[in-house]
Structure 1
């Protein structure tokens, strides 16, 4: 799930993510394979692959699994029957939702996604109906606790980052960059021993809709339905939920 507060979402969904580790591994293996197939196995020249590897390491995927996925993708013999497809729609309170999928059966996937929207109280829309509300961005999310923010800012901006945003209410600092600069910025941060809790190339909303109470619970339920579909890789949405509200929902 990629919404707001992203940091709160990650913290409160960690246990659920751990419980679904097998499915998470499958998704990252698929992403690594496709990234290597489309852009090669050189992580310096392939920011998508570098981001996928970082995310896989973040959920403690074994090194051998990662290397096998890269080898299969770069060899061109695996993943050729997998299509990347995006679906769009709306959730509660008019929240815009993007659903990125990888599938070997488009009919199955579109049926599953449409069913999740309907059962979750949302509406699946036409291609392009909400994508204009988002832009792609590289993001590195750091916990504020113990962080030397001045040093982070200096290193990130020198490496080509566009901005460094402090989100005190969420307890995090976010380094933002263009997707093309993701690999360069990540290398600079890692060389300086600055390791982000989350490093990804994501679809970021231009504006957010604040939700709470019953609406927030139903929206998160809809997004969870979408995330539980085997063919779904990522779900992005332009909602905002406070840390306190997220804690209440997941308590």
Structure 2
């Protein structure tokens, strides 16, 4: 699982799965170097650092077996059956038998074994006319992931009724084309002092990029919510 860092001019997020950190000795020098680069970016280049994803190995793939003409683990076929799971330009490929033997240990003649074509072992090239069954994986380079952009601020409701209802569905109807279909982030602040919702002292019913924001008057000790405005974070290409 990759490490991902996303920042805006207000705040930032860094997602570091525990299986990356522990045990660190199992990580390659390449991965550790890029992790340190990410941390350096976080603390020294925050305004310029938008999003960064560490490269690494994909999962193992095994879409064929040698029951026909051989074991054909072609990159084009692997991508077709596993959309989005293999990067555009792999830097390395590894193949092992299902029992865990490397290609060298298996001792078979391999027809193709590269990051452009994938892996092919043909039965006709073997002395016993039968390949082992192999699985493959690919190494992907570090890459800059899609930048996150923020929408305008929206304030369609006031707490004079049952509360402040800034739901995503209502906002998308009221402001067609201005908010992406599936936002990644949401931010809500009070009006006019712009206190973050989580620090406002109100009990919030929901606060979600896929649902929006709702504060109900009935949930407050004072009987009334504060007035809020919201905005959403989307991939830049999906923000009008």
Q: Which has the higher strand share?
A: 2
TM-score (norm 1): 0.22
Q: Which has the higher helix share?
A: 1
Structure number, greater radius of gyration: 2
